[in-house]
Chains A and B, each alone.
Chain A
């Protein structure tokens, strides 16, 4: 581990530790100061903890773990993310590479891309329910769509952005279009494609929360969040949020370390 990395971890620990302490104090004070009864539009709700203490968070966590609600939710939601992500990424890369490479295809695809860029995939939710019904298919396809749009644009522009000098040099050396695509276009475009995959992975986690409101069923992280809002149970809400944040962070870390491994050739700053 380099000194820079060690310093970064140290900084993260200090800053997170500080926040944790401040929160703990605020929650303890809040237990006496904050109202336990809130007005929710049409009625009062009692026994609300606006700022849950560590003790109630721990109790809630114990409950969610012992009942297997949280582990099962993580498994189910992560599985959907994986399926949707793989499907969407594969489609997006294939289409993006094709439109980026073939001028004639781009002529057709360009207006579509504009349209897609400005259409939030989440807005397709009601349509997908009608097309694919309640159930796994519409959830996974919604994630796949939001991933595919981002990755397709990324791959398209990555291929377009391959510097002409590399293509010229390869042609001058007698390389066939196939060889140029495999050994020049793909590796040159790879960093940008990967960057779009990373963005898409984050987006997939956003999408899952919404997608799991279709045919809302336990176990799933999206529904866990929705339920915690309906009770409302703030400790459960915070744990749900924290879990999703941790999973997004984890998947991003995974993506980053993979990225570093496969682009050792790139110049790095810092």
Chain B
């Protein structure tokens, strides 16, 4: 096993000497100092012996094995001796994993050049299923911006599995990293509709394009619907009698919204039921031009139109409704519209 603590325990063998390079970002580069690099050509060669050799050979074949001690424990990564008492291990190799459990971890928010991953990751002690000891390796938790805190999914007890390199050489770096079990997938969904306003709403929007509010009067109940639907929802009859109503009205009730919405200029914004003068049903619209905490039930308002040259058959023609400054309407006059 590589023992250079500051370095790269899981890098490919060819990368093992990088730890001795001086990090260009290190302050040792400050004026007046000179970098002096010691890099043994080709890297040190190490005889791994029979036990670690077996481990590395199995790694090259994408298998994980441990060695059993005389006491029955399975050591992963294996050693030639039982670290508890110094006794030789048995010759029994046990396949473990490939899944394992994170026993503890340390977060690396900004990986350094010698690190096995370029995006934030965790060093973790991973106890592979069937092993009695833990293996140090990197855990990749997906796309995470540099400097970010660890995701809440990173916990002791997290289940992880190795990501094997396609080309293996018999080194701990044959495992690129460990990754959590798949617990979620994303499922894109998109529906596209072609909409037409229909005859009634189309006529209403034609009116809006001319700066007018049009509605229908029901011939049964006499109520005026703005916008019209071409039918009366209360009487279930078609409506055809067109009426024009004012662009002034009264706020019957409203909500002060503290949840941002792309259609509102700011938070808080007021969405209000506005009973246009001449209509019998209130419509919901934005109220602005007054602080939200000064809006009142019964307040008189008027549509604020965008410049005429911007008008089209759309409610976008109306920026919002703003107070007219007239006295409020008494509650009794609006209570039947709530």
Q: Do A and B come from one complex?
A: no
Footprint of A on B, CB under 8 Å?
A: none
